[in-house]
A and B are shown apart, each in its own frame.
Chain A
Amino acid sequence: MKKVEAFIRHEAFEPIRMELLSLGFPSLSIMEVKGSGRQKGITERYRGAELTNYLRPKVKIECVVSSGDVQTVVDTILKHARTGSIGDGKVFVLPVEEAYRIRTGESGEETLQAHTGVASQSINGSR
């Protein structure tokens, strides 16, 4: 079991989510985060005076998958999040000790199975 944490641009999120969904990985969380890296800060002007922002907004995706699926998920993120410019973000893969599904009490890898059925359910967010 591994946890994938990815810091990405906002606009990369939707393609990543769509593809993960179609591959059977609907379970993920995101956070709106602000952070700094090699990307430069941005200078705002407020009534003529300057104000520099070093922390840029990013989206953080977190998802826990079984070890065999890690490469699939990471590849999907890399594919859609890469523009080639500084500021594309980073992906981290962390080991996970244990996982429990609260509804049933199951534990271990079977709580993280790919859900291939979900992709056929309508992809929400559009009408």
Chain B
Amino acid sequence: MTIRRRTAAAATAAVGAGLALPATAAAQEAVDPQEAIPALISELNSTWVIVAAVLVLFMQAGFLFLELGFSRGKNVGSGVAKILVNFSIATLVWWGLGFAIAFGGAGWLAGDSGFFLKFGSEIAAGSLVEGPVTGASAAFFLFQFAFCAVSLAIVWGTTLERTKFVAYVIFAVVFAGLIYPLIAHWGFGGGLFAEIGPGVQDFAGSSVVHLTGATAAFAALLLLGPRHGKYHGEPRRSRVIPGHSMPIFGLGVLILWIGWFGFNAGSTLGTSAERFAEVAVVTQLGAAAGVLGASLMVVLLTKKLDVGMAGNGAIAGLVAITAPSGYVEFYSAPIIGFVAGVIVVVAVLAIDRVLDDPVGALSAHGLAGIWGTLSCGLFTSPRLAEAVGVGQAGLFEGGGFAQLGAQAAAVVLTFLTVFVLSFATFAAIKATVGLRVSRDDEEAGLDITEHGMYGYPEQFIPAPELIGFGGPQAAARAHTAPVPTTQEVPAS
């Protein structure tokens, strides 16, 4: 017992020494607190930023499961390939181009330094990471990339089950290289939005990330059209095309929910004054109220607690609380989340009559994103506006209409800019390589037509063919001894 305790104490001391080592290395034996403490603070901040970045990167798994759950079984493999390839394209494009446009300077339109980011290279003054690129800037780079990847993932919510794979690839380059970085520069990088009225409050990106993604999704949907069989008859009636798995959808929602703590709380970009903990609580309150608002609303409208709507409510609550998460007191968060939950149910039901949005991205990310951005203009508290250093108090906190006006301007600017750029890009894709698969391919499913394999083979390949004695070749040599094969049968 005593030995074990002594060992534990020794281990603790060793860990402590290890932690202190980088800071003390410069000072060798005599630790100079004047140097060591700022270094430790920077290291602690970067640690939190990297943890948060990884949480946000994990949200890709959330989007994956959410989309797969809402897709039919014949299109699930395609969804996996799409997320993996998009995520990777966005990484390289963000490194080469996107980061520089978003965070490479202080101009109102775009940044201009940090292309192909290199350790030690110089970032222009006015950037959040101005000066030579350090480890801390690398943490910031990764964190901001994760946001870009989230925004790109949102774009594809409306496009499931009928889009040509090549369209994903082309748009990913344009979106990660230009469209998202532009808006991120305006909202996060000190660009245009900082100059509107008292300055636009968007703590973690209800507009910058979510409205941007949803607006591009809207542009894509207008050019793509509904899935075959979604609408029929005269007058046109909408029909349900059920997704294949509610458990997978639910897992996606919860992964996104957990990832959101990196998204919002990480946007403090550090641990100073434990603000990140406060933001985390606000986030949880907003999300919970989103679930309850959506659940209540869907029960009132349809008399049943729809599983998908409860999940959409969580996402809407989270999206809405994203912009105000750093600006509102605890008591405002449930109100913002609840309203978002109500909005998402009404919007999903209304939009479904005219537009085929399989996962409800337009409602959960678009409309909830707009509501979240506007809600800063209503609920921002004077204490927190001062703490963050952007804008002023909202209408209900005694600040008047100025902040609400700035928020509305940001929404309009984001929507118009993203819509025009995205629509043009998708129109160009449609006119050249094409946006949509053929009717036959859509019928057969994207898994087999675009990727040559099934996501759920056992649903599509009869069991007798998997355990049998093979095709024509095996049959031809059947006069000798049939060779059992368990898997691969050569294509004649």
Binding site for B on A (CB under 8 A): 10-11, 34, 41-46, 49-55, 57, 125-127
Query: Would you call B452 an interface residue if the criterion is a C-beta within 8 Å of the partner chain's C-beta atoms?
Result: yes
B454 and A44 form a contact (CB under 8 A): yes
Inter-chain contacts of B232 with A (CB < 8 A): 126
B309 to chain A, nearest CB (A): 16
Query: Would you call B118 an interface residue if the criterion is a C-beta within 8 Å of the partner chain's C-beta atoms?
Result: no
- Give CA–CA (A43, B232) in the complex, Å: 33
Query: Would you call B488 an interface residue if the criterion is a C-beta within 8 Å of the partner chain's C-beta atoms?
Result: yes
Inter-chain contacts of B488 with A (CB < 8 A): 46, 49-51
Listed by A's residue number, 20 A-B pairs whose Cβ atoms lie within 8 Å are A10-B443, A41-B491, A44-B448, A44-B452, A44-B453, A44-B454, A46-B457, A46-B487, A49-B488, A50-B488, A50-B489, A51-B457, A51-B461, A51-B487, A53-B461, A55-B461, A55-B462, A125-B239, A126-B237, A127-B239
B470 (CB) vs chain A CBs: closest residue: A52
Inter-chain contacts of B443 with A (CB < 8 A): 10-11
Query: Would you call B16 an interface residue if the criterion is a C-beta within 8 Å of the partner chain's C-beta atoms?
Result: no
Inter-chain contacts of A34 with B (CB < 8 A): 462
Sample of 5 further A-B pairs with CB below 8 A, known A55-B461, A126-B232: A11-B443, A49-B487, A55-B464, A127-B238, A127-B240
A45 and B237 form a contact (CB under 8 A): no
- Give CA–CA (A52, B465) in the complex, Å: 9
Query: Would you call B471 an interface residue if the criterion is a C-beta within 8 Å of the partner chain's C-beta atoms?
Result: yes
Q: Mark B436-452, 1 if CB is under 8 A from A, else 0.
A: 00000001000010001
- Give CA–CA (A107, B329) in the complex, Å: 76
A52 and B453 form a contact (CB under 8 A): no
Inter-chain contacts of A127 with B (CB < 8 A): 237-240
Inter-chain contacts of A11 with B (CB < 8 A): 443
A57 and B471 form a contact (CB under 8 A): no
A42 and B489 form a contact (CB under 8 A): no
Q: Given known contacts A126-B237, A127-B240, is B465 in contact with A55 (CB within 8 Å)?
A: yes
- Give CA–CA (A55, B460) in the complex, Å: 9
Q: A54 contacts which of B237, B454, B471 (Cβ < 8 Å)?
A: B471
- Give CA–CA (A55, B465) in the complex, Å: 8
Q: A126 contacts which of B233, B453, B461, B487 (Cβ < 8 Å)?
A: B233
- Give CA–CA (A27, B478) in the complex, Å: 45
B237 and A52 form a contact (CB under 8 A): no
A52 and B239 form a contact (CB under 8 A): no
- Give CA–CA (A126, B237) in the complex, Å: 8
Inter-chain contacts of B464 with A (CB < 8 A): 55
Inter-chain contacts of B487 with A (CB < 8 A): 46, 49, 51
Inter-chain contacts of B272 with A (CB < 8 A): none
Inter-chain contacts of B233 with A (CB < 8 A): 126
Q: Given known contacts A11-B443, A50-B488, A52-B471, is B239 in contact with A44 (CB within 8 Å)?
A: no
Inter-chain contacts of B461 with A (CB < 8 A): 44, 51, 53, 55
